[in-house]
Structure 1
Amino acid sequence: MNHLRNHLRRRQLAALATGALLTAGITLAAPASAAVRPTPLVVNARWGGHCTYDRIVIDLRGHAPRATVTRVPRLVHDGSGAPVPLAGKYFLQIRLHPAAAHDRAGAGTYRGPRLVNIRLPQLKGLALTGDFEGYVTFGAAFGAKPSVSSFTLHGPERLVLDVAHRNVCR
């Protein structure tokens, strides 16, 4: 019984001490190992045509976030659901998380195109379709069903999507 009383007393004292520190505005620093990496910023998107593939590159500041690439029946802007006016028969949604296209003050960090029509063998258009609550989303339009591979490159950080097509260099 004495052991239980001592345990409860220690817990009460710890709670009181924590409350006093918080009331005084003093916080204890978390250990460096518990540090959270800052949200990566999306700064640009670009593309290029090659003999057997078209490439989309999304440039980042900070670490490369997780990216999901999903086939969708049509492209819409996040939040509003408004259609994205890109010509194409097939569409991919490229979503990065955690990521932002704006800094902590709300100023835009993304300097690339918001919506652009492209005339490559496979890639027909690219649009920034969302930047909301830790998600940055792009939409890409294609003339034929895309066969895509994605990977990250470092120094500087960037997400790369290669979309295969027939050899146009022969």
Structure 2
Amino acid sequence: MHHRHQRRTAVAAGILLTAALGATAPASAAPRSGQAPTTALVTNARWGGHCTYDRLVIEVRGTIPPVTVQPVKELRYDPSGKKVPLAGRYFLEIRLSPAATHNEAGQSVYRGPKLVKIYLPGLKGLALTGDFEGVVTFGTAFSTKPVYKTFKLHSPERFVLDVRHANHCA
């Protein structure tokens, strides 16, 4: 009985030690070969119009990081805070983190537009507004309040924003 208690204590101590060592590894630790990089690389943004919605697609190399989409009163570049010159009455900010548009050598991997006016029923503009401290941000502009849904697609990895509008094909 005493032997069993010592064994349980030793196993528990080993688990705690392993967890503690894992927790002290630096966040920037390089992944083992064959593993995806820990920071997703944003490589492109593209869009298309459909009968009842406009679609924005953000392409990612690696695993898609957590993404947030939120309405904002205006678009600002990160980190400068300068106003983004996109016309619109409504704006959405899309944040991907941890993410970057450049590789570890500092070379850009992003091949999409940085600022573009778009002539779709819902989506009127897109800007790459930030790539700073592990956060990539995009801003989108609309003339009417956007009603949207988001989801992820895989192989290749993509984040999708669909913005509903009246049927333009009927």
TM-score between both structures, scaled by the size of structure 1: 0.78
Aligned to 1:80: 80
In structure 2, what residue type is equivalent to 1:163?
V
Aligned to 2:157: 157
What is the alpha-carbon root mean square deviation over aligned residues? 1.3
Distance 1:69 1:61 in 2: 20
Distance 2:53 2:138 in 1: 19
Aligned to 1:95: 95
SS in 1 for 2:108: coil
Distance 2:52 2:162 in 1: 9
Aligned to 1:128: 128
Distance 1:68 1:148 in 2: 13
Q: Deviations over 1:20-61 (max 9, x none)?
A: xxxxxxxxxxxx7xx885211000000000000000000010
Q: Calculate percent identity across the aligned residue pairs.
A: 63
In structure 2, what residue type is equivalent to 1:135?
V
SS in 2 for 1:131: strand
Aligned to 2:137: 137
Distance 1:92 1:57 in 2: 14
Name the count of aligned residue pairs: 137
Distance 2:47 2:36 in 1: 32
Aligned to 2:111: 111
What residue ranges of structure 1 are gaps of 5+ in the alignment? 1-31
Alignment of 1:15-54 (within 5 A): 37-54=37-54
**Structure with max Cα Rg:** 1
Aligned to 2:55: 55
In structure 1, what residue type is equivalent to 2:56?
I
Contact preservation (8 Å) 2:36, 2:63: no
Distance 1:67 1:48 in 2: 20
Contact preservation (8 Å) 2:121, 2:165: yes
Which portions of structure 1, spanning 4 or more consecutive aligned residues, are displaced by more than 2 angstroms? 35-38
TM-score between both structures, scaled by the size of structure 2: 0.78
In structure 2, what residue type is equivalent to 1:121?
P
Aligned to 1:11: none
Cα–Cα, structure 1 residues 36 and 107, in superposed 2: closer, same or farther, change >3 Å? closer
Aligned to 1:166: 166
Distance 1:36 1:109 in 2: 16
Aligned to 1:5: none
Distance 1:165 1:91 in 2: 16
Aligned to 2:64: 64
CA displacement at 1:143 relative to structure 2: 1.1
